[in-house]
Amino acid sequence: MPFHGTKPEAQTDGPLFLQNGKSPSRVCHNQSTSIERRFVNVNPVSAKDAMARMALPLGQAEGYSAIIDARSEDEFALDHLPGAINWPSLNNEQRIEIGTLYKQVGSFEAKKKGAGLVAANIAKHIEKHVIDLPKDWQPLVYCWRGGKRSGSLALVLGQIGFKVAIIEGGYKSFRSELVTAIPPLAESIQWRVICGPTGSGKTRLLYCLQAQGAQVLDLEGLANHRSSVLGFIPGEPQPSQKNFDTLIWDALRKMDPSKPVYVESESRKVGNLAVPESLIVAVRSGQCYQLELSDDERVQLLLEDYEFFVKDPTLFATRLDALVTIRGKQQIEIWQSHIAQGQIDIVVRELLTMHYDPTYFASMKRNFSHIENAQTLKAHSRSMDGLTAIAKELVLS
């Protein structure tokens, strides 16, 4: 019973039971709502929805202002979303440190240490990249699985007042969706396949077609390789397989399916990288064009395009060792002797007639269903002017 002349104790302890006359349930609800408001600017999105919105250029209305990868530098280098920038929540060394602490000591200690590092790194990103950004800046953020690293960054950006999208499942989910997306994209395209033996100018013709406004898929360019045992490019390492797949998806999604896309007659592998099987199947069912160039012009074209071998004969001779199992040690030694004597043009010509051409023609008959009906494109020289003339005819046809 309350004392006379006073309110019951339950009514005087406002903060505990009543607050400004509101019921306990109302107080709890308001506190919960207040907490939820801290996350109101962070919007989880599926990888599929994020990829659909990525069709809009960065910075364009309704598109993302930026794509931020919160993983470490090495993870980013292995592969990342097209157009992404790297704001590591934990850098390479810190990620190793926290992982080791997690295994050797425990998750609680690792999380404490990691939280301090993540907070410090996010503060640096804010100071370096965010201070001058407008309030309508809307980034897409992700990490490996959409967990703590991207979540921590998204939380801080959201609390500032930016509207932040975060990929549910992170890069792992994006990768899965990408693998699923490539086959229907490849099948929707009208493929025009530029065929021709090594040195006939297929890649140059692709450049000319692109210059004339045609759609082109340059797999060798994406792979940093010229698609033969001698096709590596010094100083230009190939991307990872995952990054190669991402580059292909990025190129395919930008194609207009109502217009043809020109591509070279590639094998299943470009250097060490595998072309997606669905893309290989779709391309090999496309309309073929057979590019022809004289042997003399082919030799000169290869001497120009593989100038690094001309300038470094020792490198060229060493690379020929890769053909020993196919051509035999004696033949390779003969070619290496020619190289030592400065007769590189002889080696190039014999590589064409003895190695590349027989392999090429057998492969084309085996793999390209429309090669027998291919339209012949006769190039009178290896010059860009001559190939541009062919490209113009193709674009107008």
Whether the CB-CB separation of 105 and 89 falls below 8 Å is answered with no
| Per-residue confidence (pLDDT) for residue 37, from 0 to 100 | 45
| Per-residue confidence (pLDDT) for residue 227, from 0 to 100 | 84
pTM of the model: 0.87
Tokens of 34: 């207040």
| Per-residue confidence (pLDDT) for residue 228, from 0 to 100 | 80
Known catalytic residue at 143: yes
| Per-residue confidence (pLDDT) for residue 12, from 0 to 100 | 34
Superfamily of domain 42-177: Rhodanese-like domain (3.40.250.10)
What is the per-residue pLDDT across 341-353, written as a single tens digit (0 to 9) for each?
Answer: 999 999 999 999 9
Identify the architecture of domain 188-396 in CATH.
3-Layer(aba) Sandwich (3.40)
What is the per-residue pLDDT across 367-394, written as a single tens digit (0 to 9) for each?
Answer: 998 999 999 999 999 999 999 999 999 9
pLDDT under 50: residue ranges of the chain: 1-38
Task: Please state the domain extents for the chain.
Answer: 1-30, 42-177, 188-396
| Per-residue confidence (pLDDT) for residue 39, from 0 to 100 | 64
| Per-residue confidence (pLDDT) for residue 202, from 0 to 100 | 97
Catalytic residue from among 143, 195, 208, 288: 143
| CA–CA distance, 253 with 257 (Å, rounded to integer) | 9
Q: Which residues of the chain form beta strands (DSSP E)?
A: 42-45, 66-69, 85-86, 139-142, 164-167, 191-195, 215-217, 261-264, 269-270, 273-274, 287-292, 375-378
| Per-residue confidence (pLDDT) for residue 11, from 0 to 100 | 37
- Residues 238-245: contacts with CB within 8 Å, 24+ apart? 238/271, 238/272, 238/273, 239/79, 239/273, 240/78, 240/79, 241/273, 241/274, 242/78, 242/79, 242/175, 243/78, 243/79, 243/80, 244/273, 245/79, 245/178, 245/179, 245/182, 245/276
| Per-residue confidence (pLDDT) for residue 151, from 0 to 100 | 95
For residues 322, 327, 331, 335, the Cα torsion angle rounded to the nearest 10 degrees is -50
